[in-house]
Chain A
Amino acid sequence: DTGVSQDPRHKITKRGQNVTFRCDPISEHNRLYWYRQTLGQGPEFLTYFQNEAQLEKSRLLSDRFSAERPKGSFSTLEIQRTEQGDSAMYLCASSQTNNEQFFGPGTRLTVL
């Protein structure tokens, strides 16, 4: 296992379409986080899973966003009815309890 992986790395979509991103954490990491990073900003927290339970969601996560982590392994982040303001880098990170968070390479979303 070489680290956190994310798929796809790039996604271009038209406004109004639905998109889904996948994150595969480091195996045995029980904590998984999603962040969003826009140009010139630091990453902002979106949501957090401990095992399969989604324990916290940011107010940034509107009702068009949904995240899952079935069986406490990989996670998906879906955005419905995408808007141009959703264009950003979506980062996934995993950790073991409160230790260092390891980040994936991110999925860059462009909404036209």
Chain B
Amino acid sequence: AQTVTQSQPEMSVQEAETVTLSCTYDTSESNYYLFWYKQPPSRQMILVIRQEAYKQQNATENRFSVNFQKAAKSFSLKISDSQLGDTAMYFCGDSGGSNYKLTFGKGTLLTVNP
């Protein structure tokens, strides 16, 4: 069974600062993706960043980057220059197998303070 653990239920950061959200996963799949989605209040899920597990280079998307440690099964998200619009629930997860269904963690509520 696939499990994803996000150990930080809530975090806060000051605007313009950097914050790191933690995530560990456990999958039996050999080919899989890892991802972070954000869910702003009362809005739909949006993909923040995705990493193919076979790639060693960490994925980056503008202010968002990941630290992928395959052996440790760790996949943390770093948000640089935090903005008020980054306030949201962030879900880490993995996707694999023939159907690529997503398995999510319980989420981390990030609040960016002015």
Chain A residues engaging chain B, CB cutoff 8 angstroms: 31, 33, 35, 40-45, 48, 50, 55-56, 91, 93, 95, 98, 100-106
Contact = CB atoms under 8 A, between A and B. Distances in A.
Nearest to B105: A42
Contacts of B46: 103
A50 B103 CA distance: 18
Interface of B: 4, 33, 37, 43-47, 50, 91, 93, 95, 99-107
A48 B101 CA distance: 8
Contacts of A101: 47, 95, 100, 102
A44 B104 contact: yes
Contacts of A50: 99
Nearest to A102: B47
Contact of B107 (A33, A42, A98): A42
Nearest to B31: A98
Given A42-B91, A103-B44, A106-B44, A98 B102 contact: no
B93 A42 contact: yes
B100 A98 contact: yes
A4 to B, nearest CB: 8
